[in-house]
Structure 1
Amino acid sequence: MAKFFDCITEELQSFIVAQHLFFVGSAPLSPTGHINLSPKGLDCFRILSPNRVAYLDLTGSSNETSAHLQENGRITFMFCAFKEPPCILRLYGQGHTILPSSTQWNALYSLFSSLPGTRQIIVAHIDKVQTSCGLGVPLYEYRGQRQALVNWATKKGEQGVQDYQQQKNLVSLDGLSTPLSKLP
């Protein structure tokens, strides 16, 4: 049932682009650390090449993925078909965080629509791609993206979002620092 690929093929790229939701998984090295699994939407995923992807990461209640990447780089992306035909696609790789202060920021950020509350861009080199049947995934109808996170960031304003990041996004649940903790 499962098939493995060395890269994101054109067919798999078409599948990814058609999805409205993806999941990001990461974990610390500690066997007692918390595994993180985050759903993402808002058209924030981009395929940069057959082995390189990025997503625009918005400010949230924690910053686990960034902390895990800084510690060990491991990242997994998962896309599920919620309509026919069924399919699950996983991208396995090594990732890192690009902050707005990085020299790479402008080139990457220009690939995305501007969204209030943008925190960072996560970039990953993909070394293994896997598809599986997805026969157990239920059928769902897409009704649209939620705007609550964008509205929250707009209401907070740029300074309010930065203050929130300083309060909530510098350290992971397991006490790992994030790249934001190194900013002045």
Structure 2
Amino acid sequence: MGKQFESMLPQHAEFIGKQKIYFVGSAPLSADGHVNLSPKGHDSLRVLTPNKVAYLDLTGSGNETSAHIRENGRVTVMFCAFEGPPNILRLYGNGTVVLPGSEEWDELFPMFDPIPGARQIIVVDVHLVQTSCGYAVPFMDYKEERETLKRWAEQKGEDGLVAYRQEKNMRTIDGMPTPIGISFADSPDA
């Protein structure tokens, strides 16, 4: 087992700030439900306090993490050193989903560079930080961000993104409702 901490130390926040990719894991309570693991890129994560991070979640073909968080709150964020000294850092916590139009969205969204296709912000209250060796993680060179998602979102436009989310992001692969789906169902336009 690696070293465990109750909160992020300054060196943890510094390590997180240098990473170009991170991974988010979540799962439903159902034993039949699927565990989800999503890679995240772009400059989309902010350390808010030693026990809180937030990331700007972009439109994708699924929306598993938000539904899992809505059901049980559990979420893990993992960072790996692909250059420099080996290191793996995991943030274990309870998440909340922040949707556009909310007061919390208005507070958090300005902390991020605007990225086309932003659909929600995931906030994680961290209760455990764990580091481990990462000796088996390979060295990999960062070349550049893929611009494909940004171009796709720009081509869709806001109306196209809303329609896409209504088609693809309302329920998980296990049929669980997502916060976007619930919000849409509760809107007067539904």
Q: TM-score range by the shorter chain?
A: over 0.9
Distance across 2 between alignment mates of 1:163 and 1:116 = 15
Superposition pairs for residues 157-172 of structure 1, below 5 Å?
Answer: 157-172=157-172
Superposition pairs for residues 40-119 of structure 1, below 5 Å?
Answer: 40-119=40-119
Distance across 2 between alignment mates of 1:174 and 1:7 = 33
Amino acid at match of 1:68: H
Deviation for aligned residue 1:103: 1.2
Distance across 2 between alignment mates of 1:103 and 1:12 = 29
Which residue number in structure 1 is paired with residue 135 of structure 2? 135
SS of equivalent residue, structure 2 residue 121: strand
Q: TM-score, normalising length from structure 2? A: 0.96
Deviation for aligned residue 1:162: 0.6
SS of equivalent residue, structure 1 residue 110: helix
Deviation for aligned residue 1:174: 0.7
Distance across 2 between alignment mates of 1:19 and 1:115 = 18
- Off by >6 Å, runs of 4+ in structure 1: none
Q: Percent identity?
A: 54
CA RMSD of superposed structures (Å): 0.7
Question: Structure 2, unaligned stretches of length 5 or more?
Answer: none
SS of equivalent residue, structure 2 residue 111: coil
Distance across 2 between alignment mates of 1:182 and 1:85 = 44
Amino acid at match of 2:121: I
Deviation for aligned residue 1:32: 1.1
Distance across 1 between alignment mates of 2:12 and 2:134 = 14
Distance across 1 between alignment mates of 2:182 and 2:175 = 15
Residues 11-52 of structure 1 show CA distances to partners (whole Å, capped at 9, x for unaligned) of 110000010000000000001110000000110000000001
Question: Structure 1, unaligned stretches of length 5 or more?
Answer: none
1:181 equivalenced with 2:181 (yes/no): yes
Which residue number in structure 2 is paired with residue 153 of structure 1? 153
Residues 56-99 of structure 1 show CA distances to partners (whole Å, capped at 9, x for unaligned) of 00000010000000000000000000012000000000001000
Amino acid at match of 1:118: A
Q: TM-score, normalising length from structure 1? A: 0.99
Distance across 2 between alignment mates of 1:116 and 1:165 = 14
Matched positions, count: 184
Amino acid at match of 1:41: G
Distance across 2 between alignment mates of 1:40 and 1:27 = 17
